[in-house]
Structure 1
Amino acid sequence: MFPLRGVWWVKTGREQDKTSFAFLEVNDANCPPNVQARIPPCLRSLMRLVTGANNNSANATTDGVAARLNSIKSSGNTKTEPTPGRTLSSVAYLQVSDGSCATTLQVVVDSSMANLKELTPSGSSIVVEGVMKEIPDATKKKVELKVQKILHVGTADPAKYPITKTRLPLEFLRNYVHLRPRTNTISSVARIRNALAYATHTFFQIHVTSNSFERITYTEAVDILKKNVKFESMIEWGMDFNADQERFLVEEVFKKPMIVYHHPKQIKSFSMRLNDDGVTVASMDVLVPKVGVLMSGSQWEERYEVLEKRLNELGLPLGHRAFSDCHAILQQNQIFTFHKH
């Protein structure tokens, strides 16, 4: 048992009365003990009422059933009657997720803390504090969070929330970019992508230092290639390198990984940030032996007027989709991006 604070969204939820039931024991001679043991107490009590258990007759009359119902209601052996002016309390069992794994956490909320009808719809979001407890005799869920304090509730309208429990086509999810990570498919892809990106960055952080790479500009690389008889007639400033030229630089000239940066703007995307010289952009290619270009990276152009000018140079309209995508990324403050090869 330990305290926990969490921020989650609700995948599913249900509300249940938090009242105790006391059922009369059913010992029907016509029902084998091993079968009786598998029948929930509430169903056994109903069976006793309907079939007239403990009576010699197998069929109880309607009057007999009504009499038994009346006697149980007044006997005090079943659920307690509510105190006048007070409603019976209930609890909500919420299956919540923060997207970090495929499984959900069961969160238990008492009705004294919040309006449970606001919590149970799929898509609601909650910020809570509570105590993590082990669930006794649990089969699927081993632990649950018993909520002690609700810090925030974000409600969701069930009639408008688009992420339902049914299987949703990917074409449909494209219309809800901000919500689709809540689906199992997209969240799984995101976790795989995160793991791969983390492993890649960790590798380079641990095994590669700045001294392991040779850093040269595109212009310097062109000068080196032009001095080689094999490439002197095949390369001019403003042309992109081919695979043979890239491998020549990394395997024969420097013989180690290298970074080529500041490429001519005409061979890179218009969305890359224009350098002060007006002819090159803030780009980079990582070259490694036996492969060539392993990955590329760039800084996005954050100056609206420069973006507009670049579109005019290329004859593209301001409503061009690439421009809209670039502008949306800038609004999210994602200035740098990397491209895998």
Structure 2
Amino acid sequence: MDKLTYSTAGVDVDEGQRAVDLMKQHVKSTFTPQVLTDIGGFGGLFALDVKDMKEPILVSGTDGVGTKLKIAFMTDRHDTIGQDCVAMCVNDILCQGAKPLFFLDYIATGRLQAEKAAEIVKGIAMGCKESGCSLIGGETAEMPGFYQDGEYDVAGFAVGIVDRQNLITGEGIIPGDIVIGIPSSGIHSNGFSLVRKLLFDIKGYDINSEIDGLEKKLGNELLTPTKIYVKPVLEVLKKSKVKGIVHITGGGFFENIPRILPQNTAANIKVGSWPISPIFNIIQQQGNIDDSEMFKTFNMGIGMMLVVDKNEAKDVLETLAEIGEKGYEIGNILEGQRQVVLCQG
């Protein structure tokens, strides 16, 4: 029997080091002066700057990309998935008013391919720069026999900061408040099990299919990265009082909005008060899917919602317009039992 090595067991240490070398430029591009470590340390060091805060609170969040990864495998395109991972995490902590500080990633695969891993990290770095945070660490795990050839998983972890006096909890929401929606870039990173079942298994489309109503081939449309809302929302928070923020992810409108509603309040959402992205119309029509199921599964063209006093709504919409971001008054708060009511606007 030949001598057994880690390499013959399926783990290529040299390829792992080559992947790290290819990642370095992308990771370092996210560094701010608060990052105190270089790549390769056992832990990432980040110096907090809290001199302008009375009572700083750290806010953390973690998430992955889900079965949207299957589209990346099908297209062999891996430069957008990283932004999805960052967005899912930083958009969540943003809901409590937190400014993202740093991010860590985890990539696991059966057989490491350095260039592919570097493309994923490139997307993560782009997402970090878009959200104003630093990529200070991560892990690339090669796990032979655990994943099918060419497949991988990606997850991330974000930490942000907010002064306690500016913490957003939703507890001040009352009937009469206004719901403002900020558009999504598409499906984002939820509902892809239904999307793949319908479009590929049932309808027989492939990644290169061109469907009326879509400007891109189907694969590229589905890989449109999740929008990062950090910059526009933080700009709004500088100028206006926001009572609640909702990130529309898994569970759509029906599960996410009630998470910030106090007892005895409900959200009245006016369908038709914003443009719904064509991809959602295609999915609904081709799948013969009820409105309730669509709003329970997808973001339906609205990725982030802000709940504000009716006297603040105009200012918030103006702030968004000033920075080139669209905003829509999509509903209001009513008396009720922590639920979402859809009506035609």
TM range (shorter): under 0.3
Relative contact order, CA 8 A, sep 6+: which one is greater? 2
TM-score of the pair, normalised by structure 2: 0.20
TM-score of the pair, normalised by structure 1: 0.21
